[in-house]
Structure 1
Amino acid sequence: MAFEAFRQRLGSIIGGFDAAQAHRRLRGFRASRAHVNTLIAASGDTITARARWLVRNNGYAANAVESFASNVVGDGIKPSSTIADAAKKEELQALWLAWTDDADAEGLTDFYGLQRRAAREVFLSGEVFVRIRPRRAEDGLTVPLQLQMLPAEMLPLDMNRTLPGAGLIRQGIEFDGIGRRVAYHFLRRHPGDLTDPGLSGETARVPAADVIHVLDPVEAGQLRGVSRFAAAIVKLFTLDLYDDAELERKKIAAMFAMFITSPAPETPLEPTEEDLEVEPGQVVRLDPGEDVSTPATPDSGGTYELFQYRTLLQIGAALGIPYGYLTGDTAKGNFSNTRISLIEFRRRISAWQHGVLVFQMCRAVWTRWMDVAVLSGALDLPGYDSQRRQYQACAWLPTKWDWIDPMKDASAEILQIEAGLKSRTQALSERGYDAEQVDREIAAERKRELALGLDFRRPGSPAQGPGDAKGNDNADQGGDAADEDKADDTADVRPDPKDKQ
């Protein structure tokens, strides 16, 4: 305490940064110097519990979670193998697609549904655990491997102890002597699930190789996640209380239709007559001395909407969700403002997709899945042991963003491709498609159209070959078929320029 007082006196003498002073404006600003791990250990469970309560009971909170998960995952972040052998790549992709339906150990969704659940959990509680569960060959799976999702509450925050040797456990995570994660000590039963007959408080040690810990750390050295709602819980809850109070005030005011004032009765304790019920068009005769007045229903005032709007803007900023996505209110912004907010939001989502979900979960699952697929004989990749890294290389393709202005956006992209500023492969990847697969589908469609005498390409479009004004891409027809078309279709034969002379 003496050193702290000396330090503050020294700071007041030296000056410099106002943010570090203890003058009148900042006298009540007492920031904790505890590390984020200490703060999470002290209050992480409470923050997560309050966030879950808000999502269950508050419409804005529920909408924020769904908006985040839908934009991060969409229909799924899907792998596209970079294997050069087209036949092997097609076999690999087909096997992966078949396995995605078997991925969930609970059998409630597919692998892409697990991605969405992971995104929701990380937004809600700051982290989620995916346990890799090897299966037996007789289980009948396409690849004997499944994934089990465990919420943050399954790993106790208060488990901290030193182990024999150089190891230790911090917040349920076991580390070796050089700081590597070697195991996770999960509870066998969710601490809040009273329907599970398992022993309360009993833990099981799971090797780190079988656990995927998905989190987005906000500070260096952070071990466990913290809910995205941490900065918004107070305002969400108090705004909900304010709305409830306003609604109750209006409801009470609406209960009274009119008040009847009568002279003071001779006997004050005499029972009053029954309440007067008023119907539309009714004529009411009053006794002498009685008067009727209607209540002045209190209005919410002109500041109610503005207060709500500003508070929801602060909540949206704390959650990282645009106002329109948080509230569903599209009347507050024009096209330009909405476009700017969407571009910023999508940039953040893209960074989260590749920096968190793809790097931590998708790549780990893909690597383990390929190992198991090859070892089980479900996939035959010659020389896999020596070329494992080359075989496992792949690109992860998120769901394409919907165009804000489809005509302008598509035209701009076509110009970029024609100018050599972007490749078709890059453009297709940004839309969540595999370029090689798309090219094969286009070639198959053109072959089918040729056999049926059809051509749906727009005249003059980049999809047509040069000089093919009628849309017949002779280069794709190949060989004798193209020669026969040129000989038979005299309308396509261009006149000799000498004939004009």
Structure 2
Amino acid sequence: MVLDAFRARLGSIIGGFDAAQSHRRMRGFRASRAHVNTLIAASGETITARARWLVRNNGYAANAVDAFANHVVGDGIKPSSKIADAAKKEALQKLWLAWTDEADAEGLTDFFGLQRRAAREVFLAGEVFLRIRTRRPEDGLTVPMQLQMLPSEMLPQDMTRVLPGAGSIRQGIEFDGIGRRVAYHFLRRHPGDMTDPGLAGETVRVPASEVIHILDPVEAGQLRGVSRFAAAVVKLFTLDLYDDAELERKKTAAMFAMFITSPAPETALDPAEDDLEVEPGQVVRLDPGENVTTPSTPDSGSTYEPFQYRTLLQIGAALGVPYGYLTGDTAKGNFSNTRIALVDFRRRISAFQHSVMVYQLCRAVWTRWMDMAVLAGAIDLPGYVTDRRTWLACDWLPTKWDWIDPAKDASAEILQIEAGLKSRTQAIAERGYDAEQVDREIAAERKREAELGLDFRRPGSPAQAAGGGAGPGDAERQRQDQQEEGNQDDVDEDREPRPAEEG
């Protein structure tokens, strides 16, 4: 308190930064100086619970999560091994593809489905855990390894204590004396799952080598993740309440209610014999002195739509999701500004793909999977132990994003390749495919077409240019062209030269 008072007094004397002053405009702005780990330990579980509630009950929140996960993963972020031996590479890729169907320990999806679920959880809860489960050979798996997904709530935020020696547990994560993660203390059951009897509150210590912790830290030293909804929970919830109030007001306004008043009723305390009911087209005769009034309900006026739009823009900015993806409303923008928003959104997605999904999830799974595949004898990679880094070299290819006008983008890409601004390998990799595999498929198709006497290449396409390979009809077309050239030469020889005009 004394230090804070001294800082405030010093700031008021020196001045310079309005952001640090305590004058009239900033008097109510009291920012916490606590570290993000302290804030997450105190509020993380509440924020995650509210975010999950919003996704279950609010259409905008559910749409934002799906839009984020679909753009991050799409059909899957897929590996392309950089092994020089083509036969070994093809065998390794086939083995990986077969294992992806067995990757989920729950058997609900494949490895790429786990990627999508992980992206959803990181957006929703700020983090997610994948526990590596080693299986027995008799389990019959392609590679004896599976992945079990554990939500953020399975690692207790309040488990913090000092261990004997130099270690400690902070927010459920065990560290050694030099700050390395050595274990995670997971609950045996989800604290909110009442359908799982027993084991409530019990924890199990899992070595860090068996756990993949996926999170997108926003501050240095951050241990646990925080939901992307943290900056949008208040506005999403209050906007939902406002919409409910508007719906109730419209419902009330749609009801036809009447009040009958009389200046001097003869029997004011006696109930009416019959309630007055009005039907369409009915003519009602009232007693002398009685009149009918209807309640007036205020209309929302012209402010409802602009208010909704601006509030949803703020929510979209807080979530990092464009307005169109958040609301599904495509009438608010034209092609140009929609494309600008998509470019910015996809740059954010690309950064998340490479710094979080690939670095934390894909590379860790690939490394462990390769080790297990070699140890189990599922594939033979000579010298793997001594040259492990070379065998592990791999590129991860996200799904290509399609634009609104793919024909123009394809034409631009072809021009870039022909001008030497990019290679076919790069263009194919950007589409999420392996160039060598695509080339092998194209060669096999060309061979099959030649055997069947087919040619599906577009006339004048780069595939029919020099070096594109001869199709079944190329020889015949070349013979016809030579014959036409020969006929033209004969015509030129028979033609007599024209005499020069005299001057």
Range into which the TM-score falls when normalised by the shorter chain: over 0.9
Matching residue of 1:349: 349
Kept in 2, the 8 Å contact 1:486–1:492? The answer is no
Q: State the shift of 1:44 in Å.
A: 0.6
Output the amino acid matched with 1:418: E
Q: State the shift of 1:4 in Å.
A: 1.8
Q: Deviation per CA, 1:376-428, whole angstroms, max 9, x where unpaired?
A: 01111111111211111111111110122212211111111111111111111
Kept in 2, the 8 Å contact 1:257–1:294? The answer is yes
Q: State the shift of 1:91 in Å.
A: 0.8
Matched residue of 1:48: which SS?
helix
Matched residue of 2:213: which SS?
strand
Matching residue of 1:442: 442
Relative distance call for 1:347 and 1:488 in structure 2 (3 A) is: closer
Matching residue of 2:451: 451
Spell out the pairing of 1:76-95 with structure 2 (5 A cutoff): 76-95=76-95
Q: State the shift of 1:189 in Å.
A: 1.2
What are structure 2's unaligned runs of at least 5 residues? Answer: 494-503
Spell out the pairing of 1:21-420 with structure 2 (5 A cutoff): 21-420=21-420
Partner Cα separation in structure 2 for residue 32 and residue 438 of structure 1: 55
Matching residue of 2:496: none
Between the two proteins, the alignment pairs up a number of residues equal to 490
Q: State the shift of 1:289 in Å.
A: 3.0
Matched residue of 2:159: which SS?
coil
Partner Cα separation in structure 2 for residue 165 and residue 492 of structure 1: 87
Matched residue of 1:115: which SS?
helix
Q: State the shift of 1:79 in Å.
A: 0.5
Matching residue of 1:15: 15
Matching residue of 2:501: none
Partner Cα separation in structure 2 for residue 291 and residue 404 of structure 1: 62
Kept in 2, the 8 Å contact 1:254–1:297? The answer is no
Q: What's the C-alpha RMSD, in Å, of the aligned pairs?
A: 1.8
Q: Is the counterpart of residue 490 in structure 1 residue 496 in structure 2?
A: no
Q: State the shift of 1:294 in Å.
A: 4.1
Matched residue of 1:337: which SS?
helix
Larger displacement relative to structure 2 (267-276 or 207-216): 267-276
Larger displacement relative to structure 2 (316-325 or 398-407): 398-407
Partner Cα separation in structure 2 for residue 159 and residue 211 of structure 1: 18
Partner Cα separation in structure 2 for residue 318 and residue 305 of structure 1: 20
Matched residue of 1:396: which SS?
strand
Output the amino acid matched with 1:202: E
Larger displacement relative to structure 2 (13-22 or 487-496): 487-496
Larger displacement relative to structure 2 (268-277 or 147-156): 268-277
Q: State the shift of 1:465 in Å.
A: 1.8
Kept in 1, the 8 Å contact 2:63–2:325? The answer is yes
Larger displacement relative to structure 2 (318-327 or 254-263): 254-263
Q: Deviation per CA, 1:243-288, whole angstroms, max 9, x where unpaired?
A: 1111112212222344434443111111124333333333333333
Matching residue of 1:425: 425
Partner Cα separation in structure 2 for residue 434 and residue 275 of structure 1: 78
Partner Cα separation in structure 1 for residue 265 and residue 358 of structure 2: 81
Q: Deviation per CA, 1:312-358, whole angstroms, max 9, x where unpaired?
A: 00000000000010011111111111000000000000100110011
Matched residue of 2:308: which SS?
helix
Larger displacement relative to structure 2 (486-495 or 53-62): 486-495
Output the amino acid matched with 2:480: A
Kept in 2, the 8 Å contact 1:74–1:399? The answer is yes
Matched residue of 1:493: which SS?
helix
Partner Cα separation in structure 2 for residue 454 and residue 401 of structure 1: 32
Partner Cα separation in structure 2 for residue 310 and residue 487 of structure 1: 66
Kept in 1, the 8 Å contact 2:249–2:297? The answer is no
Partner Cα separation in structure 1 for residue 243 and residue 147 of structure 2: 42
Partner Cα separation in structure 2 for residue 488 and residue 366 of structure 1: 50
Larger displacement relative to structure 2 (158-167 or 210-219): 158-167
Partner Cα separation in structure 2 for residue 49 and residue 274 of structure 1: 53
Kept in 2, the 8 Å contact 1:486–1:493? The answer is no
Q: Deviation per CA, 1:119-178, whole angstroms, max 9, x where unpaired?
A: 010011100000000000000111100000000011111111111111111111111111
Partner Cα separation in structure 2 for residue 476 and residue 91 of structure 1: 30
Partner Cα separation in structure 2 for residue 224 and residue 453 of structure 1: 62
Partner Cα separation in structure 2 for residue 153 and residue 395 of structure 1: 33
Partner Cα separation in structure 2 for residue 365 and residue 346 of structure 1: 25
Partner Cα separation in structure 1 for residue 52 and residue 412 of structure 2: 43
Larger displacement relative to structure 2 (8-17 or 287-296): 287-296
Partner Cα separation in structure 2 for residue 286 and residue 197 of structure 1: 68
Matched residue of 1:90: which SS?
helix
Output the amino acid matched with 1:490: R
Matched residue of 1:131: which SS?
strand
User: Normalised by the size of structure 2, how large is the TM-score?
Assistant: 0.94
Relative distance call for 1:34 and 1:489 in structure 2 (3 A) is: closer
Kept in 1, the 8 Å contact 2:262–2:289? The answer is yes
Kept in 2, the 8 Å contact 1:156–1:186? The answer is yes
Kept in 2, the 8 Å contact 1:397–1:433? The answer is yes
Partner Cα separation in structure 1 for residue 345 and residue 477 of structure 2: 56
Q: State the shift of 1:295 in Å.
A: 4.0
Kept in 2, the 8 Å contact 1:183–1:205? The answer is yes
Partner Cα separation in structure 1 for residue 26 and residue 90 of structure 2: 64
Kept in 2, the 8 Å contact 1:250–1:298? The answer is no
Relative distance call for 1:259 and 1:268 in structure 2 (3 A) is: closer
Partner Cα separation in structure 2 for residue 124 and residue 172 of structure 1: 20
Identity of aligned residues (%): 82
Partner Cα separation in structure 1 for residue 83 and residue 338 of structure 2: 41
Partner Cα separation in structure 1 for residue 295 and residue 267 of structure 2: 27
Kept in 1, the 8 Å contact 2:464–2:470? The answer is no
Kept in 1, the 8 Å contact 2:143–2:372? The answer is yes
Partner Cα separation in structure 1 for residue 477 and residue 463 of structure 2: 24
Partner Cα separation in structure 2 for residue 83 and residue 409 of structure 1: 31
Partner Cα separation in structure 2 for residue 403 and residue 84 of structure 1: 34
Matched residue of 2:340: which SS?
helix
Partner Cα separation in structure 1 for residue 282 and residue 255 of structure 2: 19
